[in-house]
Structure 1
Amino acid sequence: MYNTKDPFNTSQIQISKPAVKQNVKFVKKLIGKNVKLSAVVKGNAYGHGIEQMVEIFESFKLTHLSVFSAHEAFRVCQVKHPNTQVMIMGWLNDDQISWAIENDVEFYVFDIDRLSEAIKRAKEIGKKAKIHLEVETGMNRTGLEEKYFPDAIKMMSENLEHLIFEGMCTHYAGAESISNYLRIKDQIELFGRYLEEFKKHDLVPNIKHTACSAAVVSYPETQMDMVRVGILLYGFWPSRETFIHYLRSNGFNEKGKEKSSDPLKRVISWKSKIMSLKDLPMGEFVGYGTSYQAPKKMKIATVPVGYAYGFSRSLSNQGRVIVNGKRVAVIGTVNMNLMIINVSECKEVKKGDVVTIIGAQGKVKVTVASFGEMSNLLNYELLSRLPMDIPREVVD
């Protein structure tokens, strides 16, 4: 179960390549043949590992990757195929703009300062900057506001020899929830109007892209020329509402067949081993403080994974893991480097037995969603918090 190249780790994450293949196939079917799919690998590829996921996505002919920062883009560039495009959606400083231009990395422009700097750096380097103009339509995060359009239009029109208007884009404010329906519809309409404004001045982007995972499912009209899909490719729905919308849109009634009808496959599993075992007398407390007292004689085990490794402290006396095909409870307070579990019901348990933190043993499963329910964390948050130094192994 452990990567022999790194025998010193306390746990390991496994990435299922067949699961990714299924998820890519599903998304491609949703968007059709004429829409480009950009795989989002920000947040260390949602905790799955940038380097591993770039290789997997490329093996399934995905040649456009989206990241948040120049640092993430650099990591992608270290391992990607030369023909794969990289797009930075967020942070890069002025010097990193030069690096992006030199390395054909595309990047968002969402304010006048970045547009000005991109033009300046492109002139200095003698190479065109590949920009995606992000416009503000109601998310109120990043995005060029309408009042700055005249300045942007003037700057772009006067410097076309230094720019490639690669894309025009926006981001929707909560497409995963029906409560945001009117807000999203307003954004869709506004984006269309803003696009026409730039077209009037002969500024036509090569591609238009606005859809994230949730919008791809719930607002198919937003798919346009390209979609930026993250969480779906890793086997998770943006929200339960999005999943229900998919089911209803595909002919399932309200009762549905939700478990058997889920087309997505979870990509990640996370495993460790039992570090030590102990017989605990009735009445004894477990770990720090007095949060758990043994109601009877018990057998307990320690596992070398704690909150420093991404297993939240909020899962104290709440979490579940699997040992020898049995789901068992985390008891006591989760420590920085370890947790304690109740293995009283596990037959012939011994040191070194596999502990599945996320994943399955036979028919018994512990899902990322169950972590969210117990710790009040989103799938996105829990996954992206998994430390980068936990080794990731790709399995076929």
Structure 2
Amino acid sequence: MAVPTSYSAASAASDDIDALRHRHAEASDRPTRIRVDLDALTHNLHALRAKAGAPVMGIVKANAYGHGLVTVARHLQAQGVEQLGVAFLEEGIALRQAGVRVPILVLGGIFGPQVAQFIVHDLEITVSSLDKLRQVEAAAEALGHRATIHLKLDTGMERIGVHSYNAGPFIEAAVASSWCVVKGVYSHLACADDPASPMTAVQLERFLDACTHFERIGAPMPLRHLANSGGVLHFPETCLDMVRPGIALYGVLPDPASRRTVDLRPALSLVSQVVYFKVVKAGHSVSYGATWTAPRDTRVVTVPIGYGDGYPRALSSRGDVLIRGQRHPIVGRICMDQFMVDIGPQGTAYNEDDVVLIGRQGDAGIDCESVAIAAGTIPYEILVGLNDRIPREYRGGGLSDR
């Protein structure tokens, strides 16, 4: 190869490279991608609101359950969601910086040095103890701006929150605060994903009993929110003044015991493409550790996604994919960036054929729930584990594919 001997020659070569990059930009996109159907999100939002008969706080924590924090939040805002919920301050700030203006509650326990940032960015604060209340009051007074808070009561989760049976003094102090506006009071259901669990009824009773303290002191009742996805699906009595669906908003059931009492549409598909085809002879092993050996001459293809993308290694020799509308097993250990699929002695596949890991292809489908069962985990972990190494494409919702 000739080496450019002058600035002009080097510049021309650079221009040629830039033109080539531009011309083939689309072809260079990674073959593995997540597709998010925004119309499915819209459908699920309206269906859950109708089922609950109450306003919706759409939970978008953990990168909107793997669907993309900012794009999902903007879409839900455009669809009239009443409130959003995130786990951490940083998620709330990211949404504010992206122009999301709908009320946002940060659900996690607050860290003292961060409290002022909640107020500066107009984020609603979970106050889970008298000590946290005093921290919020001090920050609000220093800024000269009142804080909007939701009181967290513990009715059986034992995570954060004042025990419901000791909530009286906590509620009184919050209501009397000069620097805090009590917008909501809430708790979290531990077992609502299972419609047969008696725990939800116990938690509801504890929560409602604690909330009567507002009436006893003559204070207005704030928004009471208790129902998560399982609550909306199985326990309508928990829906109260607002509901907080998370995984159900994305069209996925929270637990194998859950019932599909709402018409939910999965919003996420995970797809890749075949990048290699080979014949593996009988008796030859595949992948690290030689944990799978071909019982007969067979055809094996390689797919460019692995546990480095958040696709569970636990699916090694246990998961399935769809190729040309047919279900085929993953064989051998899933690698960091690739895995192999046995398409059988007569199977047909070509490089660049689509491979569906979650979603539908023709009349066949693989849902997130079944992937979780095969991996020995829960659907939540499957979705939130899909990391940003995988590009996301959004369809519907008035957006062009991107």
TM-score by length of structure 1 reads 0.88
Q: CA deviation at 1:78?
A: 2.5
1:6-44 deviation line (CA, Å, top 9, x unaligned): 945351100012211221221122122xx2111011121
Q: CA deviation at 1:390?
A: 1.6
Letter in 2 for 1:389: R
- Alpha-carbon distance in structure 2 between the residues aligned to 1:119 and 1:136: 22
Match of 1:64 among 83, 91, 98: 83
Q: What's 1:20 paired with?
A: 41
Secondary structure in structure 2 of the residue aligned to 1:377: coil
Q: Residue 165 in 1 paired to residue 179 in 2?
A: no
Q: Residue 129 in 1 paired to residue 147 in 2?
A: yes
Secondary structure in structure 1 of the residue aligned to 2:116: helix
Q: What's 1:47 paired with?
A: 66
- Alpha-carbon distance in structure 2 between the residues aligned to 1:179 and 1:37: 24
After TM superposition, the structure 1 = structure 2 runs for residues 112-261 of structure 1, keeping only pairs within 5 Å, are 112-146=130-164, 149=167, 151-153=169-171, 155-159=173-177, 161-181=178-198, 183-243=199-259, 246=261
- Alpha-carbon distance in structure 2 between the residues aligned to 1:315 and 1:219: 33
- Asked if structure 1 preserves the Cα contact closer than 8 Å seen for 2:165 and 2:210, the reply is no
Letter in 2 for 1:47: G
Secondary structure in structure 2 of the residue aligned to 1:228: coil
Q: What's 2:377 paired with?
A: 377
- Asked if structure 2 preserves the Cα contact closer than 8 Å seen for 1:39 and 1:229, the reply is yes
Q: What's 2:10 paired with?
A: none
Q: What's 1:30 paired with?
A: 51
The 10-residue stretch of structure 1 (117-126 or 172-181) with the greater mean CA deviation from structure 2: 172-181
- Alpha-carbon distance in structure 2 between the residues aligned to 1:346 and 1:134: 59
Q: 1:91 to 1:9 in 2, by over 3 A?
A: farther
The 10-residue stretch of structure 1 (148-157 or 287-296) with the greater mean CA deviation from structure 2: 148-157
Q: Residue 273 in 1 paired to residue 273 in 2?
A: yes
1:284-315 deviation line (CA, Å, top 9, x unaligned): 11111221111111221111111111221111
Letter in 1 for 2:238: T
- Asked if structure 2 preserves the Cα contact closer than 8 Å seen for 1:272 and 1:356, the reply is yes
- Alpha-carbon distance in structure 1 between the residues aligned to 2:279 and 2:374: 27
Q: CA RMSD in A?
A: 2.2
- Stretches of 4+ moved more than 6 A in 1? none
Q: What's 1:250 paired with?
A: none
Percent of residue pairs bearing the same amino acid type: 27
Q: CA deviation at 1:153?
A: 4.2
The 10-residue stretch of structure 1 (383-392 or 89-98) with the greater mean CA deviation from structure 2: 89-98
- Asked if structure 1 preserves the Cα contact closer than 8 Å seen for 2:255 and 2:378, the reply is no
Secondary structure in structure 2 of the residue aligned to 1:180: coil
| Structure 1: stretches of 5+ with no match in the other structure | 247-261
Q: 1:172 to 1:190 in 2, by over 3 A?
A: same
Q: What's 1:257 paired with?
A: none
- Asked if structure 2 preserves the Cα contact closer than 8 Å seen for 1:274 and 1:355, the reply is yes
Q: CA deviation at 1:353?
A: 1.8
1:229-287 deviation line (CA, Å, top 9, x unaligned): 1111111122343316x3xxxxxxxxxxxxxxx72111100111222222212211111
Q: Residue 323 in 1 paired to residue 344 in 2?
A: no
Q: What's 1:361 paired with?
A: 361
| Structure 2: stretches of 5+ with no match in the other structure | 1-24, 397-402
- Asked if structure 2 preserves the Cα contact closer than 8 Å seen for 1:316 and 1:330, the reply is yes
1:106-162 deviation line (CA, Å, top 9, x unaligned): 121112221110000000011111100011212211111257545434533542x31
- Asked if structure 1 preserves the Cα contact closer than 8 Å seen for 2:110 and 2:126, the reply is no
Secondary structure in structure 2 of the residue aligned to 1:135: strand
Secondary structure in structure 1 of the residue aligned to 2:45: helix
After TM superposition, the structure 1 = structure 2 runs for residues 301-316 of structure 1, keeping only pairs within 5 Å, are 301-316=301-316
1:176-203 deviation line (CA, Å, top 9, x unaligned): 224531x222221111221112332244
Q: 1:148 to 1:126 in 2, by over 3 A?
A: farther
Letter in 2 for 1:165: V
Q: What's 1:253 paired with?
A: none
Secondary structure in structure 2 of the residue aligned to 1:174: coil
Q: Which has the larger radius of gyration?
A: 2
- Asked if structure 2 preserves the Cα contact closer than 8 Å seen for 1:109 and 1:132, the reply is yes
Secondary structure in structure 2 of the residue aligned to 1:242: coil
